[in-house]
Chains A and B, each alone.
Chain A
Amino acid sequence: MKTQPTQRGREPIATQKRPTTPGVLGQLADFFDDRTGYRALVHEALYERVPGGARWRYVWGSTLVFAFLTQVITGLVLWSSYAASAQTAWESVYYIQHEMTGGWLLRGIHHVMAQMMIVLLALHLMQVVIDGAYRAPREVNFWLGLVLMMLVLGMALTGYLLPWDQKGYWATRVATNLAGLVPLLGPSIQQLVVGGPDYGHHTLTRFFALHAGFLPATLVLMLVVHLTLFRKHGLCARQPITRPDAMFWPDQVLKDAVAMLAVMAVVLGVILMPALRAMLEGRPIVPGELGAELGAPADPSQPYAAARPEWYFLFLFQFLKVFEGWGASGEFLGAIVVPGLIMGVMFLMPILGRWQLGHRFNIAFTLAILAGIGLLTAMAMNEDYAALWADRASFADVEKLLEETDGDATKIAAHFGNDATKIAAFSARAKKLDRIRHSQSFLDASEQAEADAARSIELAGRPERIPPAGMLELVRNDALSQGPKLFAQHCASCHAHVDPAAPNAASLMAKASAANLHGFGTAAWMRGLLDPKQVAGPGYFGNTAHKEDDMVNFVQNDLTDADTWKPDDIEAVIAAMAGEAGLAAAGTDPAIVEKGRGLIAADDRCGSCHTFRDNGVAAGSAPDITGWGSREWLIGIIVDPTHERFYGDSNDRMPSFGKAEEGAAPMLTRQQIGLIADWLRGDWYRPATH
């Protein structure tokens, strides 16, 4: 049992006789080399023969390894500050991007290098195919390369979701829905990837595990084999070899290193370009706005019309539109079959490449695919941005006719006297106009998305910080974000909300059937109401049932009597009313407000109809204007304008948004009504610097 086994085939290394290197460091190096043999390893790694000498065209593989290393370094550091869950993902990425020192730079490098990697992959693949580097004995290594490419694309796809912003969320919904189209297993694959029947915590944890664990671990394994095989086969030299061979170190390494530096320069350039622009335009540089963007937090109930995949997947996105009118088979073909076939052909390339014709086919195929990708990407961009360069004004006649005829084909035909060529020309232009309009909706949606993102970031930076329930709660309770949406949905079918000084104000107010609520509660709004020229106009009572009522009559007749109502009196009333709303301009003289209150309460002035404070006027004849325009007053009138405190029986069409029949839910919750009131009053969080 205790007998020492002999060391078969293994010489005790330490006893080998070898010349010692002078110096302490040299002896230390000897010590380690004796025990590990590292010198031989380094020698093998560096002194690879490059047939025909070093060339720039060989750098792509090395730049890819470099890009991957960059992603590992930046990714690990990002990981150390990232928290994958529906309530913490956006929040932690916000913190990285906007608050942590250098977070914007690190995240920027990770984000831009990921895109760079896709470009480098395409270049590497092209170089391998054109040089025929997939031919025997390198077939397996070519296949490994294709697998590596898919792994990189997989990491790009999974990484897009991790910030859990609207952009990543909606793009991922589409991508995972497409995965569900795989025959038989599709729905299960989708459910496994999504982490359940719905998108949430486990979608994030799974995507994160894929992005930072499964995929890169597999990639490292494959990369080791890829590089080992590459060394085993040697570099596939460009033929014919006309120059003498060189060593990998330092000739090719120098070229590789220069290429890496160039790659990094491009990445940093992309990140810092906006800073340079800001500097030249004299704007302050906000580091958080550099590098990778962060949209508004993901919200499944909030439409996101600007949803687009990252640019390198845009061709796939556009490809799905090619199959218009193909029914279910179209999407299956576009998302599964065609991409699958293309990958299939690529896997066959080493076999095809055995024949000269096959090799030519491979080159043509690769170039055709790249050209197709380029074309589809350009088409997608053109569809989205056409409105930027299209001259919409030249379509004014088309727009006018479409509006007049309501798009009715027979009416349009009649307009052109049933002249087929004119009709055809018109419908061609109508189609172009439709494309411009469509692009405009995308641009508007993008602008809205940017505004939402900026607002989320502003809110996240409040001194109170983000609540434990997450950013979405904050956004959903923000009057500035939600007010316009709620107003558009529930109020805008009657009320306008437009600055009267805006160029399109007149037409918008004319279309509305109730008062323009822009600046409601302010002195400016009240001044308009008390203006005889405006009170019966579309901005106030003009389009309502009250346009000939006592109030209009009072403003047009009584107020214009300069003996009773001196201009100072009217100004005092205006100041007092704005004071009721709590929206009086800073520095308003309290004495004037006091005077105004007296005038309002007086029974021969406003108090002849309106209840005001303790003037004793009974409710019902006109709205109670105590606290007019205040949050409480606005909520009250939105909840129930038919209440005797407001319009009572004379209420003109306005629904009681907060009142409901027994057992039914009201149209709007108190919280929603509060948001509308706050928004109308301009009462929302503003950062201290503004």
Chain B
Amino acid sequence: MSRHEAVSDSAEARRGFLAKLLAVCCGGLATLPPLVAGAWMILDPLRRRGAAATFLPVTDLASVPDDGIPRQFAVVTDRVDAWTGFAAEPIGAVYLRREQGSDTVEALSATCPHAGCFVEIESQGKCFRCPCHNSTFTLDGRIVAPSPSPRAMDGLECQIAKNGQIAVKWQNYYTGIAEKVARP
């Protein structure tokens, strides 16, 4: 007992501080693993990348009459959604259009550059109109002002093979910004 009494107040305080420090450290360390592991896993989507943009066969030249009117086609390819693999699934849609007498085809993504809805051809067939916020575009994809959309419809690269097969380089772009920036 006498030894205990000999311990000075400052030593008691030091020991008390050490105990508090250790308690906080031990408790913190013990809680850290679930938090770190949780954060680690929840951030997983950040390292996921979409399929690289490739040319996907869409249709053939005969299906796109040279009348300047866009036709809608599904873009079909194999798709992976986390653990499920889909063979030949429609993943989106493009509008293909051919001017009179032209052998080249213009491709426009059907995704609205404003907020990502599905742009449709307006009932009179004179222009594109997004059913969500009324963004309007000419049949060749230019903005009809005033429009909520910050940019024209997104054009996609297009290849026509000798046998008439049309392939489109399928690509998603960020919406709501003036520049056309491809999603990773």
Q: Which residues of B30-49 have CB atoms within 8 Å of chain A's CB atoms?
A: 42-43, 45-46, 48-49
Given known contacts A307-B131, A324-B148, A442-B131, A195 and B45 CB-to-CB distance under 8 angstroms: yes
- Quote the shortest CB–CB distance from B83 to chain A (angstroms): 7
Query: Could you tell me the distance between the alpha carbons of A325 and B146 in the complex, rounded to whole angstroms?
Result: 4
Contact A321 B133 (CB under 8 A): yes
Contact A328 B110, beta carbon cutoff 8 Å: no
Is A440 engaged at the interface, CB distance under 8 Å to the other chain? yes
Closest to A663 in B: B163
Assess the B133–A317 pair: CB atoms within 8 A. Answer: yes
Chain B hits for A660, CB < 8 A: 60, 163, 165
**Are A202 and B82 in contact, with the CB atoms below 8 A?**
yes
A324 touches B147 (CB 8 A): yes
Assess the B184–A197 pair: CB atoms within 8 A. yes
Q: Which residue of A lies closest to B49 (CB)?
A: A197
Nearest Cβ on chain A to B69's Cβ, whole angstroms: 9
B91 at the interface (CB under 8 A from A): yes
CB pair B42 A192 closer than 8 Å: yes
The reply to whether B82 and A181 contact each other, CB–CB distance below 8 Å, is: no
Q: Which of B50, B165, B172, B176 contacts A331 (CB 8 A)?
A: B176
B131 with A441: CB separation less than 8 A = yes
Chain B residue contacts of A196, Cβ below 8 A: 45, 48, 82
Contact of B45 with A202 in the complex, beta carbons under 8 Å:
yes
* Binary contact track A659-680/B, C-beta < 8 Å → 1, others 0: 0111111110000000000000
Chain B residues within 8 Å of chain A by Cβ, number: 61
Stretch at the interface among A71-79, A298-306, A338-346, A634-642: A298-306
**A332 and B120 form a contact (CB under 8 A):** no
Q: How far is the CA of A438 from the CA of B122 in the complex (A)?
A: 8
> Which residues of chain B (57-92) have a CB below 8 Å from chain A?
57, 59-60, 62-63, 65, 71-72, 74-75, 79, 81-84, 89-92
* A327 at the binding interface (Cβ < 8 Å): yes
Interface residues of B in 136-171 (CB under 8 A from A): 145-148, 150-151, 161, 163-165
Q: By the criterion CB–CB under 8 Å, are A321 and B81 in contact?
A: no
Among B2-10, B14-22, B98-106, B111-119, the one that faces the other chain is: B111-119
Closest to A470 in B: B84
Asked if B54 is at the interface (CB within 8 A of a chain A CB), the reply is: no
How close is B164's CB to chain A, nearest CB, in angstroms? Answer: 6
- Contact A661:B115 (CB < 8 A) given known A197-B184, A201-B83: no
Q: Given the complex, which residues of A lie within 8 Å of B122, measured CB to CB?
A: 441
Residue pair B176, A180 in contact (C-beta under 8 Å)? yes
Chain B CB within 10 A, most for which of A407, A441, A490: A441
Q: From residue B67, how far is it (CB to closest CB) to chain A in Å?
A: 10
Query: What residues of chain A lie closer than 8 Å to B24, measured between beta carbons?
Result: none
Tally the A-B contacts, defined by beta carbons under 8 Å: 162
Map CB proximity to B onto A172-204 as digits: 1 under 8 Å, 0 otherwise.
011001101100000110011011111011100
Residues of chain B within 8 A (CB-CB) of A173 are 115-117
Among A304, A324, A437, the one with the most B-chain Cβ atoms within 10 Å of its Cβ is: A324
Neighbour of B115 across the interface among A87, A177, A197, A442, CB < 8 A: A177
Assess whether B60 is in contact with A667, with CB atoms less than 8 Å apart: yes
User: In the bound complex, do residue B82 and residue A303 qualify as a contact, i.e. CB atoms below 8 Å apart?
Assistant: no
Q: A86 touching B84 by the CB < 8 A rule?
A: yes
Task: State the CA gap A331–B42 with chains docked (Å).
Answer: 29
Q: Are B131 and A180 in contact (CB under 8 A)?
A: no
Q: Does B23 contact A (CB under 8 A)?
A: no
Whether B59 and A407, one on each chain, are in contact in the complex, defined by CB atoms closer than 8 angstroms, is no
A191 to B74, CA, bound (A): 24
A194 vs B175: C-alpha distance in the bound complex, in angstroms? 15
Asked if A655 meets B50 with Cβ closer than 8 Å, knowing A192-B43, A303-B120, A305-B131, the reply is no
CA distance A442 to B132 in the complex (A): 9
Is A554 an interface residue when CB atoms closer than 8 A count as contact?
no
Q: How far is the CA of A406 from the CA of B42 in the complex (A)?
A: 55
CA distance A174 to B133 in the complex (A): 10
A170 CB-CB contact with B under 8 Å: yes
Q: Which residues of B contact A181 (CB under 8 A)?
A: 176-177
Q: Bound complex: CA of A54 vs CA of B89, how far in Å?
A: 62
B81, B84, B91: the one within 8 Å of A301 (CB)? B91
B183 touches A300 (CB 8 A): no
Q: Are B82 and A201 in contact (CB under 8 A)?
A: yes
Cβ of A445 within 8 Å of any chain B Cβ, yes or no, is yes
Once the chains are docked, how many angstroms separate the CA of A192 from the CA of B129?
30
Give bound CA distance, A306 to B178, whole Å: 26
Which residue of the partner chain B has the closest CB to A321? B133
Q: Mark A628-665, 1 if CB is under 8 A from B, else 0.
A: 00000000000000000000000000010000111111
**Residues of A bordering B, CB below 8 Å:** 86-87, 170, 173-174, 177-178, 180-181, 187-188, 191-192, 194-198, 200-202, 299-301, 303-307, 317, 320-321, 323-332, 335, 407, 437-438, 440-442, 445, 489-490, 493, 655, 660-667
Q: A192-B45, A667-B62 are in contact. List 14 more A-B contacts (CB 8 A).
A: A174-B117, A197-B183, A198-B50, A198-B79, A300-B92, A320-B133, A320-B148, A325-B147, A328-B150, A489-B71, A660-B60, A661-B163, A664-B164, A665-B60
Contacts from B to A (Cβ < 8 Å): 42-43, 45-46, 48-50, 57, 59-60, 62-63, 65, 71-72, 74-75, 79, 81-84, 89-93, 110, 114-118, 120, 122-124, 126, 129, 131-134, 145-148, 150-151, 161, 163-165, 172, 174-178, 183-184
